[in-house]
Amino acid sequence: MKPLSRWSGALLGAAILAAGISGGSQEIAGIRGFRASRVESERELEQKLQSIPTAARAEANLRHLTSEPHMAGTDASRRVAEWLRDQYRSFGFDAEIVTYSAWLPLPLEVKLEMTAPEPRTLASPEQPFEQDPDTYDKRAVPGFNTYSPSGEVTAPVVYVNYGMQEDYRELESLGVSVEGKIVLARYGQGFRGIKAKLAEEHKAAGLILYSDPQDDGFVAGDTFPEGPWRPASGVQRGSILYTELHPGDPLTPGVGPNPSARHVLPADSATLPHIPTMPISAMDAAFILENLAGRHVPRRWQGGLPFTYHVGPGASQLHMKIAMDYAERPIYDVIAKLHGTNDHEWVILGNHHDAWVFGAADPGSGTASMMEAGRALGELVRSGWKPQRTIVICHWDAEEPGLIGSTEWVAAKRAELQEKALAYINTDVGVTGSHFSAAATPSLKEFVRDVTRQVGDPASKGTVYDAWRGHTARSFDEISGTARKAPKPEIAGEAPVGALGAGSDFSPFLDYAGIPSIDIGFGGDYGVYHSLYDDFYWMKHFGDPTFAYHAALARVLGVLALRLDEADILPFDYSAYASEISREQNELAARAAQEGTQASSLKPVAQASAQLSASASRASLSLRAVKATSIDPARAKELNRALVSVEQTLLTQGGLAGRPWFKHTIYAPGTYTGYAAETMPGVSESLDRNDPATLRIEADSLAAALRRAATRLDEVSNLARGAESSPAAGH
């Protein structure tokens, strides 16, 4: 590391105090993955980085990002990409735009009419408010669901609650069929694409989605523009692509952006829905619901509208018409590199830049913060620092339609990423409040906690970690905008780090390429998800009025990147990973025994899990010894490559049963949840289906992956022991 001559001691101290960061006179503690002799210089570097991001710059970034609607497939999305590229070039990055072509629809007509008991035009546009001039912008796309087919349907209506598996089972118990009907489902409890798939499987003629005020409207609190929650006219846009089968371009599954690759026909695509689907507001849904007949709904199905809900069908009869313009449209990924001494090791950060309308929270808050992290890293380089590794910051296009930009890039570069990428750090809805949350592969969970212990929380005298641990009783659910119970911490008293499912751009990195991944952000009361009202006014009045949490997120992102860039030995904790696998394996075995399923099929998994635990323990002991010594660079590179590649050993070439794109044997989104993580998904879902034949196949595949991981960790142990006794040790 070169000296940072621009920073005098007095200036640095003043900048750190101004940023609210603790440090200075405290005793220098160790850092996971760093030799003791390098800890002090790393602490100094991190403090300098943390002094650079400002709330004012983050606010200016977001103001520009929200200056016009910029949906994927439009010229506005290209303009955002060009601006981002130019900004990163000004920060000192080598930045470019990578353009792909994807099968994307734009809405031509989205029409809904009630034909009985009285005619009424529905699918109303969202109400503008004088307080917020952006809500009058005529460029805002009307509410629609990406990848709905074109179609026209007239039919009676059945209310299906959230439209999830258990809801259809409840309807069947009531003797209500949805075949040939239009089903009305409220948002929440699962990905909207699963709702479309289930409606299709149950032979519904069409699907209407709405946001119930109990979930993200006036029942939760004051509504926009007086509060952060969804007003009665608010509409949640969103994709219904079947990304639980595979994300990315629906016509090129698993092949990436190869012009010569075979494109499937739209009619043959496994991920394109087949029944017309549209979103509407709670205001419009009320006219439909209050005219349904049949028995009143089970109590847990009752929403927040001021009347008793009924299942239907009844007097409500609807005519829905959807016309979509499908075409190959360009998308624009921004790839910015801060080249390091070792250009064959990459630390990757990412966030998407496309938005349904203005996208202040989703994704602009994450984009604005990541830009500040990038600016801070660039400032360090200008002041004399040279990254040890290359830092890559990516801003993806077409995330909202189905993780397309990131999936295409990862597919195109899979072999290179598996050789060079050390980790992928994601943020998406970066800031909607003050509550930090994180999800990560288990080997990086303690690493995330370590970093947040070093960043000051804007609203308290403590750290982000202190505040995070203090609010873990409740956390934010980005799917529905409602509060839910937080995941239990793996270690008693620690802040919980969740499992990675899907729904954002970490998915292709982890699920397809086996790159260790992290997803972070600050959450809060956020009821305007995917609506016209997710704009600068909302963020300035409710989400983060001072933009202090945008700056805090930039600091967390920056320190995560710095530690991975500068570490002597990468800070992976495979003992923690093995412990989580052991716990999950025990739970699956207990389930199999309780359900009378063939528990013997899981014995190979138990044996392989025990082997992995033993290998992880040996590797941990060997690494603990080498971290206290010097290590020659060539041996360190070999050891780090082995550590990173453990995640890839958990992939299976053929993928999960029925979902070959998802190759990770430990984590994948649930087939019927869409976003939420399913642990050991092949085995777990075979148990759910009571499918002994597939259970045996998936258990053998999982056991083989665990044995591969154990073997790789034994290699780590051998390399670490060799490093400890190498001639360079102790120099």
Query: Is the four-CA dihedral 133, 139, 144, 145 of positive or negative sign?
Result: negative
Q: Is 399 one of the catalytic residues?
A: yes
Identify the bridge partners of residue 526 per DSSP, sorted by sequence position: none
Cα 118 to chain centroid distance, Å, stands at 43
Q: Where are the alpha helices (DSSP H) in 650-680?
A: none
Going by C-alpha positions, the residue among 560, 547, 556, 572 that lies closest to residue 624 is: 572
Identify the bridge partners of residue 668 per DSSP, sorted by sequence position: 678
Q: Own/partner pairs for 305-309, CB < 8 Å, 24+ apart? A: 305/212, 305/213, 309/159
Going by C-alpha positions, the residue among 481, 438, 525, 467 that lies closest to residue 228 is: 525
Give the integer Cα–Cα distance in Å for 51 and 44: 11
Give the integer Cα–Cα distance in Å for 392 and 348: 5
Cα dihedral 545, 550, 555, 561, rounded to 10, equals: 170
Check if the beta carbon of residue 528 is closer than 8 Å to that of residue 224.
Answer: yes
Give the integer Cα–Cα distance in Å for 450 and 452: 6
Give residues with Cβ within 8 angstroms of 416, minimum separation 6.
none
Tokens coding 279: 């979103």
Count of other CB atoms within 10 angstroms of residue 288: 24
Burial class (CB in 10 A: 0-12, 13-18, 19+), 593: exposed
Q: What is the residue type of 450?
A: D
Give residues with Cβ within 8 angstroms of 9, minimum separation 6.
none
Check if the beta carbon of residue 490 is closer than 8 Å to that of residue 445.
Answer: yes
Give the integer Cα–Cα distance in Å for 518 and 74: 30
- Active-site hit among 170, 200, 244, 399: 399
Give the integer Cα–Cα distance in Å for 665 and 650: 6
3-state secondary structure of 396: strand
Per DSSP, 685 falls in state H
β-pairing verdict for 474-476 and 421-426:
unpaired
501 HSE (CA, 13 A, CB side): 19
Count of other CB atoms within 10 angstroms of residue 307: 10
Give the integer Cα–Cα distance in Å for 24 and 27: 8
Tokens coding 128: 């503008």
Going by C-alpha positions, the residue among 607, 662, 179 that lies closest to residue 403 is: 662
Please identify every residue annotated as catalytic.
Answer: 399
